[in-house]
Amino acid sequence: MEQCACVERELEKVLHRFVIYGHQSEERLDELLRSVCEIRAQLVAFGVQDADLSVLSQTMAQCCKNIKETVQMLASRHKDIHGSVSKVGKAIDRNFDAEISAVVAENVWDTPERQKYLSETVVEHLYRQGMLSVAEDLCQESGVVIDMSMKQPFLELNRILEALRMQDLGPALEWAVTNRQRLLDLNSSLEFKLHRLYFISLLSGGICKQMEALQYARHFQPFASQHQRDIQILMGSLVYLRHGIENSPYRSLLETNQWAEICNIFTRDACALLGLSVESPLSVSFASGCMALPVLMNIKQVIEQRQCSGVWTHKDELPIEIDLGKKCWYHSVFACPILRQQTSESNPPMKLICGHVISRDALNKLTNAGKLKCPYCPMEQNPSHAKQIYF
C-alpha cells in the first residue's frame, strides 16, 4: 500500500499543477483579449487617420510583446507539467515491478479449452456486475456461447439489486415470498428484514402513514417467534410517530446504512439459492493475486540470487505458504507430514489402518517388499488397505 500511496502523491501534485495552470491560462488570455478589444474599439472610434501613428505603434508593439510573453510563459509552465507527468511514470517504475512473467506459469492459457474457461469466467463476472452489453460483446468476439439458463438468474439478480439501490422494495419482497421455503431452509431472515425496512419507510412518512403502518404490521405474524424483540421495537416506535421518529429513542431505525445492508443480505442469500459464491470468482482471484504477487516476486529474486532455482520446479506448487487471510479460505488443504508437500489429484492423501494420514507418494516410497510400516507408530500393514481421503 505504501507504493500506491507514493504514486498517488505524485499524481496529486500533477493534478494540482494542472488546475493552477488552467486558472492562470484563463486569466492571462482573458486579460490579453480585453487589451486587444480595447485597441480595436479605439481604432473604430477615432479611425486610423485621426489617431497618432506613433502612439498607435507603441500600443500595438506593447500588445504584441504581452502576447509573446504570455505564450512563452504558458509554454514554459506547460513544459514543467510534462516534467511532473514523467515523475509519475518514474514513481510507478520505482515502486512497481513491471516484469511479472518470472512468476507466471508458462503456457497457462495455451489450449482453446483453457481460453474458453477464462472467457466464461470474465463473462460471468460481467453478468454479476450488471454489465450485460459488455458481456454480450465479449461473447460475440470470443465465440463463447452462454446458455440462457445461466444468464437469466443474473438478469433477475441485477434487476432486484438495482431496485433496492433506488429504495424500491417491491421486486425483492416478491422474490422473497416466492422463495420463502427455500430461504427458511437456509435459516435466512431476508424476508423479515425486507418487511421491517418497508415498515420503517412507512414510519418515516409521519402520522399520516400510521394506519397504513398498523395494517402492514400483519406481515410480521409469521416471524413473531423468531424476531419477537425486533417486532416489539417496531411497534413501540408508533407511540412517537406524532412527534417524529427522528426525535424519539427509536431514531436508530432511520439509519441510512440499512439499505446497503439489505443489498448485501439479498446478494448473499440469492447467491446461496443459486449455488453461487457471493463474490465473483474473477474478483476473488484478482484480489488473491494482488496479495500473493509481491511475495512471489521477492521469493523469485531470492532464489535467483542464491542460485537455487531447483527449489521451485513444480507448476502447481509454491515454494512457501502465502497467507491470504481467512477471507480466502474456501477448502481444506492437506500437506504430507513425510514429504512436506501439498497433496493434489495425482497425489491424494491416504488414510492408513492405524489412522495416520500420508500422501500416496509417501506411501509408495515407504512400501518395502509389499509391507508398510507406519512412520508414526510401529504398526505394519498392507499398503493396499490404505483408503483415499476426500476433503
pLDDT digits (tens, 9 = 90+) for 178-199: 998 988 888 888 999 999 999 9
Across 25-35, average pLDDT = 86
Around Cβ 164, how many Cβ atoms within 10 Å?
A: 20
The span from the CA of 280 to the CA of 126, in Å, is 9
What pLDDT sits at residue 192? 92
Pairwise CA distance, residues 281 & 116, whole Å: 15
pLDDT of residue 317: 64
Cα gap 306→299, rounded to integer Å: 11
Question: How confident is the model over 271-304, as pLDDT tens digits?
Answer: 888 877 778 888 888 888 888 888 887 877 777 7
- Of 50 and 321, the one with more pLDDT: 321
pLDDT of the residue at 50: 52
177, 191 contact by CB (below 8 A): yes
Percent of the chain with pLDDT over 90: 8
Q: What is the pLDDT of residue 239?
A: 86
For 145-166, what is each residue's pLDDT tens digit? Answer: 877 777 788 888 888 988 998 9
d(CA 36, CA 14): 32
Residue 48 predicted with pLDDT over 70: no
- Lookup: cell for 63: 500588445
Give the three-class secondary structure for 277: coil
> The CATH number of 335-388 is which of 3.90.1010.10, 3.40.50.720, 3.30.40.10, 3.30.565.10?
3.30.40.10
Residue appearing with cell numbers 495425482: 346
Distance between CA atoms of 202 and 199, rounded to whole angstroms? 5
The 10 Å Cβ neighbour count of residue 154 is 21
Mean local confidence (pLDDT), 220-243: 88
Report whether pLDDT(313) > 70: no
DSSP 144: -
Looking at residue 309, its pLDDT comes to: 60
Specify the higher pLDDT residue, 58 or 139: 139
For the cut 70, the answer to whether the pLDDT of residue 52 exceeds it is no
What is the rounded distance in angstroms from the CA atom of residue 123 to the CA atom of residue 324? 25
78-129 pLDDT, tens digit each: 888 888 888 888 887 777 765 676 677 767 778 888 888 888 889 888 888 8
Which residue, 345, 340, 332, is CA-closest to 391? 332
Model confidence pTM above 0.75: no
Question: Taking the alpha carbons of 58, 63, 66, 67 in that order, is the dihedral positive or negative?
Answer: negative
Residue 171 pLDDT? 92
Residue 47 reports pLDDT greater than 70? no
User: Would you call 303 exposed, middle or buried from its count of C-beta atoms within 10 A (0-12, 13-18, 19+)?
Assistant: middle
Which candidate, 118, 102, 122, 120, places its Cα nearest to that of 110? 118
Distance CA 364, CA 371 (A): 10
Give the residue ranges of DSSP H helices in 166-280.
170-178, 180-185, 190-203, 210-216, 228-236, 257-274
Summarize the confidence of residues 52-68 as an average pLDDT: 78
Which carries the bigger pLDDT value, residue 344 or residue 303?
A: 344
- 3-state SS assignment for residue 332: coil
CB 253 within 8 A of CB 237: yes
Q: What is the pLDDT of residue 81?
A: 82
Q: Taking the domains of the chain in order of start, what are their residue ranges? A: 1-94, 148-274, 280-309, 335-388
**pLDDT surpasses 80 at 308:** no
